[in-house]
Amino acid sequence: MQRHGILHFLLFATFFSIGAAALGGAVLCDDLVLYCRNKHLVAKAEMSLERLKSLNSEYDALLERLENEPNLLKRIAPAALGTEPEDPNAIYPKARAEELAVARRTLVQQTQPENREPALPKWLQRCSEPRHKIALFLAGAGLVLISLVCFTPKPAPRR
């Protein structure tokens, strides 16, 4: 008789836990989708923050170098601003506007974080569809009811 009780308990625990998990998944599916999207947005913001920190450190190093070497500004200015150099022996490369535009687009694409939507797990995509969510909820409720009706321990007979 004890084996019968253990079997009933195991079936009750199995059906009830699977049903409760299905019910919880159906109810919390939208929250899980929102959690995944927020996690992606936080990671994207952290990448942007790291990029800004690296740019700040690069600019700080450049400003420090400009303060320490006053001649550096005289050497960089003609190339950066496109003016004629003061030194007649200096040769600066001339770049066309199209070449600069292509280089700028390439640099911007490399440094910008991706703006695509987060990749949700396939099981979460399927569960977030309304018809699947309803089916999951009904199946979970059915399993919980079956476990409660069929596998609850029967009270001991009174003598």
Query: Is residue 159 one of the residues assigned to a domain?
Result: no
Query: For 58-116, what is each residue's pLDDT tens digit?
Result: 889 988 888 888 777 777 776 666 677 676 776 666 666 677 778 778 877 766 656 56
Over the stretch 126-143, which tens digit does the pLDDT of each residue have? 888 999 999 999 999 999
| Domain that includes residue 71, residue range | 2-150
Reported residue count of the chain is 159
User: Residue 65: which residues within 8 A CB-CB, separation 6 or more?
Assistant: 72
How far is Cα 9 from Cα 23, in angstroms, rounded to an integer? Answer: 21
Q: How many domains does the chain have?
A: 1
In a domain, 64, yes or no: yes
Evaluate whether residue 157 is within a structural domain: no
> pTM of whole model > 0.85?
no
